[in-house]
Chains A and B, each alone.
Chain A
Amino acid sequence: MTDIAQAEQPEAETKKPARHIPGQPDMWVLVLFEALVFTAYFAVYLFHRSAHSGLFLRSQAYLNPWLGTLDTVLLLTSSMFMLHCVQAARAGVARAAMTNACLTALLGLGFLISKVTEWILLTRTGHGFTSNEFFMYYFFLTGIHLLHLLIGFITLGVIMYQLRSPKRGSREIVETCATYWHTVDLLWILIFSLLYVVR
């Protein structure tokens, strides 16, 4: 029965590649768990924001939306290069994959410099971690995100190590590390929306 049913299926359908989760499925535990933890942080932030909306709006005006937008563009572009890196690694073109991984790292570094610059500018104008409740959340959320980004640099190092030798070149490890990088990107988009955009 099974054989006949399979034989009757069109050829294109039988050759359809099996669906698979990119990277190690275990990495998705980290993604989901971090998403839950950050959801909890955002819920706490929004609760306090609604309780002190005047203070949060006044403080938000001191943030430079252009720097926030630049950060977002840098990270989104880095994610695009990461995508190209994974595609090149899947196609077995290690050189192109390595180039894209380097570009991803470069843009990540740009984000790091931009974020630290913003912190310095804010603290110089008297808006530090302990200034008020808004800036406490601002430095906390951007700080914990930057820590995730630093771990992202380690994952980029793992990708480059995998790509340097065709003997190593594990597609699964490249995809796993890319998943982490995209998670960092996604978290930033949410943080950017909450801190810079939502009024």
Chain B
Amino acid sequence: MSETSAGPATLAEPPTEAGPPRGLAGIAWHWRNDPKRELWFAWYSMIIFYNIFVIVFFIMTHAQPPPHPDWSDAQVVSWFNGNHNGLLIGFGIVFAIAALTVPANALIAYSMRRMSVSRAFAYSYLVMYSLSAFPGMLLLCVVLSVAAMRPGRDPAQTHWLYDFAFLSYIGTMGIFLVGSLVWMLAILLDKNRVLPKWFGYLNLCNALTEVVVAPAWIFHRGVLDWNGLISWWINMVVFGVYTSAFMVLLRTMIRREDFGEGPLPDLPNTLKAKIAALAGAAQ
């Protein structure tokens, strides 16, 4: 990231003396002058990726929530026939934007680099998430696309591809579990106040719900199968809260970033700062 281009900046926010213009000109201004443009690029990549991910997986392909694991060959074939165009077009889009996960993961790794902890945390997180993107997302897209591509294939083969795709997707939860624990440990050990401690604990909650997915390898029906009430629905609520929290917190981190070494400064307009100012005025 542009640590050198930041120069002697000490403010959490970019300098606003001249003030960026509004609208498209404002975007151009930030592109040229904002020392945090690379960080913002990574953050917007994350937002764009997750939005498209939700649209493709939940609306276009219906791969989320996953269909039932105990379906017969005929039901599986019927599901592929019903979602034929959605699967091919949707996963085509995913292949086009999948690389946006790289800057998104890099931003999370950057948050750990900014902390007062070993770089091993950031590097291990980056490697884990980079590798898990293949079995955890791309393999599901490839295999479901293969099954959808030729509707006339033997139903038993189509069913095999169906199981393979969803088990591959479910099976990588362990990597996300360890990734969450690495991030948690970094946040709890950090002295630079990059991210709040409560988010460290929220990482633990997220990791514990990833464990609950493991029984999906055993059960074909009920609350613990791969689309079960406990193993998918409750987990998805936790994951939604967790993901929303880190998107907001990473945005705040970028706004607070001073490209220094020590603790991150607080934003001047936070509730905490306002309370402190009011307390000062009352005295």
When distances are taken between beta carbons in the complex, the residues of chain B under 8 Å from A129 are 215, 218
CA of A40 to CA of B161, assembled, Å:
33
Q: Which of A26, A44, A147 contacts B211 (CB 8 A)?
A: A147
Min CB distance, B183 to chain A, in Å?
A: 14
Q: Is B194 an interface residue (CB 8 A)?
A: no
When distances are taken between beta carbons in the complex, the residues of chain A under 8 Å from B230 are 40-41, 44, 140
Mark A110-144 against chain B: 1 for CB-CB distance below 8 A, else 0: 00000000000000000001100100100010001
Q: Is B59 an interface residue (CB 8 A)?
A: no
Q: Is A6 an interface residue (CB 8 A)?
A: no
When distances are taken between beta carbons in the complex, the residues of chain A under 8 Å from B208 are 34, 37, 144, 147-148
Q: Is A26 a contact partner of B205 (Cβ separation < 8 A)?
A: no
Q: Which of A29, A44, A136 contacts B202 (CB 8 A)?
A: A29
Q: Is A48 a contact partner of B211 (Cβ separation < 8 A)?
A: no
Q: Is B68 an interface residue (CB 8 A)?
A: no
CA of A169 to CA of B222, assembled, Å:
48
Q: Is B39 an interface residue (CB 8 A)?
A: no
When distances are taken between beta carbons in the complex, the residues of chain B under 8 Å from A37 are 205, 208-209, 234, 238
Q: A41-B230, A144-B212 are in contact. Are A26 and B218 (CB under 8 A)?
A: no
Q: Which of B198, B224, B238 contacts A140 (CB 8 A)?
A: B224
CA of A26 to CA of B204, assembled, Å:
12
Residues of B208-262 at the interface with A, using a CB-CB cut-off of 8 Å, are: 208-209, 211-212, 215, 218-219, 222-224, 229-230, 234, 237-238
Nearest-neighbor residue (CB-CB) of B229 within chain A: A44
Q: Which of A26, A44, A136, A148 contacts B201 (CB 8 A)?
A: A26
Min CB distance, A112 to chain B, in Å?
A: 17
Residues of A13-37 at the interface with B, using a CB-CB cut-off of 8 Å, are: 24-27, 29-30, 33-34, 37
CA of A197 to CA of B196, assembled, Å:
40
Q: Is A30 a contact partner of B215 (Cβ separation < 8 A)?
A: no
Min CB distance, A26 to chain B, in Å?
A: 4
Q: By DSSP majority rule, is chain B's interface helix, strand, loop, or mixed?
A: helix
CA of A140 to CA of B234, assembled, Å:
14
Q: Which of A25, A30, A40, A48 contacts B204 (CB 8 A)?
A: A30
CA of A29 to CA of B137, assembled, Å:
30
Q: By DSSP majority rule, is chain A's interface helix, strand, loop, or mixed?
A: helix
Q: Is A27 a contact partner of B201 (Cβ separation < 8 A)?
A: yes
CA of A144 to CA of B205, assembled, Å:
12
Q: A24-B197, A41-B234, A44-B229 are in contact. Are A33 and B224 (CB under 8 A)?
A: no
Mark B121-140 against chain A: 1 for CB-CB distance below 8 A, else 0: 00000000000000000000
Among B202, B212, B215, B223, the most chain A Cβ lie within 10 Å of the Cβ of: B223
Chain A interface size, under 10 / 10 to 19 / 20 to 34 / 35 or more: 20 to 34
Q: Is B211 a contact partner of A144 (Cβ separation < 8 A)?
A: yes
When distances are taken between beta carbons in the complex, the residues of chain A under 8 Å from B212 are 140, 144
Q: Is B219 a contact partner of A130 (Cβ separation < 8 A)?
A: yes
Among B201, B211, B222, B237, the most chain A Cβ lie within 10 Å of the Cβ of: B201
CA of A48 to CA of B196, assembled, Å:
38
CA of A140 to CA of B215, assembled, Å:
9
Q: Is B200 an interface residue (CB 8 A)?
A: yes
When distances are taken between beta carbons in the complex, the residues of chain A under 8 Å from B205 are 30, 33-34, 37
Mark B178-216 against chain A: 1 for CB-CB distance below 8 A, else 0: 000000000000000000111011101100110110010
When distances are taken between beta carbons in the complex, the residues of chain A under 8 Å from B219 are 130, 136
When distances are taken between beta carbons in the complex, the residues of chain A under 8 Å from B209 are 37
When distances are taken between beta carbons in the complex, the residues of chain A under 8 Å from B200 are 26
Q: Is A33 a contact partner of B202 (Cβ separation < 8 A)?
A: yes
When distances are taken between beta carbons in the complex, the residues of chain A under 8 Å from B224 are 136, 140
When distances are taken between beta carbons in the complex, the residues of chain A under 8 Å from B238 are 33, 37
Min CB distance, A24 to chain B, in Å?
A: 6
CA of A102 to CA of B198, assembled, Å:
28
Q: Which of B197, B215, B229, B234 contacts A26 (CB 8 A)?
A: B197
Q: Is A29 a contact partner of B201 (Cβ separation < 8 A)?
A: yes
Q: Is A48 a contact partner of B223 (Cβ separation < 8 A)?
A: yes
Chain A to chain B contacts (Cβ below 8 Å), 7 pairs: A27-B198, A34-B205, A41-B234, A130-B218, A140-B215, A144-B212, A151-B204
Closest 4 pairs between A and B when the two form their complex, measured CB to CB: A30-B201, A26-B198, A26-B197, A29-B198
- Not counting A26-B198, A27-B198, a sample of 5 additional A-B residue pairs whose C-beta atoms are within 8 angstroms of each other reads A29-B202, A30-B201, A34-B208, A44-B223, A129-B215
